[in-house]
Amino acid sequence: MIMRPINRFIILILTFTGLTLKAQEAWKAEDSVISEDLNAIHFYDSSTGWIVGNNGAMLYKSGEKWLLYPKITNEDLYSVFLTGKESGWAVGSKGTVLKLEGRTWYNISSPTRATLYDISFLDSSHGMAVGANGTILSYEGGIWSISNYITKGILHAVSYGKDFNLVSGGIECGSVPIYKHRMNEPESFNTFDPGYYFIKDIAVQDDGQAWAVGTAGILLHFNGIEWIRSNLHTKVPTLNSISFYDSTDGIAAGFGGALIRYYESGWEKEDSPSNVTLNGTAISESAYYAVGNMGTILSKSRISYTDDSLEGNSKSLLKVDSYPNPASDYIDIVLPETDDLIASDLSVLSADGRVILKMSIEPGTAGSTVRINTSSMSNGMYLIHLRYKDNESAYGKFMIANER
């Protein structure tokens, strides 16, 4: 039985300033079972993910933990790409190509001895790997073959979109263009010269846009017509990796533990719990990830906004109620009736995932009401996230409809 004063009411009056809007859910360092440098991470779905690194290091997601896969090579592995829950590829030094079938990885005969730095697939039958000395491998009809060389430089990044793929990299005392290759024109490449920057990674989106990152914090955006340099409000070091979940949700990471996140309104720097070099990024349905040197694995919760995803993310049947809905000047958030509401916290998030408000909930306040001043909040959908007990969650949502 929960004992509390009758009609207990928690009143919270806040002004929503720009500083508050920039608050974020915290990145955290996950437990790692290895000290090798980790170079890449990829997810097929929220429960199927792999990490690869130096000296043949391979880890896989098992529930909330990362487990070490038995070593099948001593070569450094630089990229991994999953084409299914039990199918995928990894590449690395000396032309190493590994294939995942079922739950087992196998060494595959490679047509090159050049180091391969990145791999990407359009589907299970069409893929590409790139590497040192301008090496390009194409995967068609179940066979890897060497494609025509387009540069003598290092090709460090490749990414497939629906209609084209992008390839780029760098070379000492020179530049390597970003090559755009259309699927129906095998020998046709359009180029963009990024200048004396080494492009470390590229992400092509389904809508035909793309992003590229590299040395000295270079951040380039392809809007479907032309490449434009994107400027951050703060300086960032070399960025090694970039990933997008959709056109409005992305992350990039690099030297010194640098982490930046893309919202619909642009890029913002995030607080990082690490200062080691981060080499790979990925976004699953439920979390953001970054991996790096010395076995570093960082993650941050990601919350989806559809009714189905909210129900799926919650481990309990508890819901957070609120009224009036839609709201104008204020919203009253009703905490659920449960004995488990101890050591809990309450967050209000905007539709693009920003944490507008975060507060601790004192024990014994189950069933109480939290009032929030919403008069200065922008119109739109907001999510209520209540975390309690053993990291369980309850959700609610409300609309703001202020008259302007």
Residues 280 and 359 in one domain: no
Q: What percentage of the chain reaches a pLDDT higher than 90? A: 54
User: Which residue, of 284, 301, 318, is where some domain finishes?
Assistant: 301
Residues 35 and 141 in one domain: yes
Residues 150 and 265 in one domain: yes
Tell me: pLDDT of 72 over 50: yes
Return the SS3 of 129.
strand
Residues 255 and 385 in one domain: no
User: Which residue, of 262, 280, 301, is where some domain finishes?
Assistant: 301
Give residue 340's pLDDT band: very low, low, confident or very high (50, 70, 90). Answer: low
Q: What is the pLDDT of residue 187?
A: 56
Average pLDDT, the chain: 85
The CATH number that applies at residue 81 is 2.130.10.10
Tell me: pLDDT of 312 over 50: no
Residues 382 and 339 in one domain: yes
More confident residue, 225 or 342: 225
Most confident range, picked from 2-6, 98-102, 332-336? 98-102
What is the arithmetic mean of pLDDT over 302-319? 50
How many other C-beta atoms lie within 10 A of the C-beta of residue 78?
25
Kindly state whether residue 3 falls inside one of the protein's structural domains. no
Q: What is the pLDDT of residue 21?
A: 30
For 151-179, the pLDDT digits (tens) are 889 999 999 988 899 999 999 888 899 99
Strand partners, 361: 344
Residues 6 or more apart whose CB falls under 8 angstroms from that of 177 comprise 151, 168, 191, 192, 193, 194
Residues 232 and 379 in one domain: no
| Residue 13, domain extent | 9-22+306-400
User: Which residue, of 263, 282, 301, is where some domain finishes?
Assistant: 301
Kindly state whether residue 219 falls inside one of the protein's structural domains. yes
Residues 6 or more apart whose CB falls under 8 angstroms from that of 128 comprise 119, 120, 121, 136, 137, 138, 139, 147, 158, 160, 165, 167
Indicate the number of domains in the chain: 2
Tell me: pLDDT of 404 over 60: no
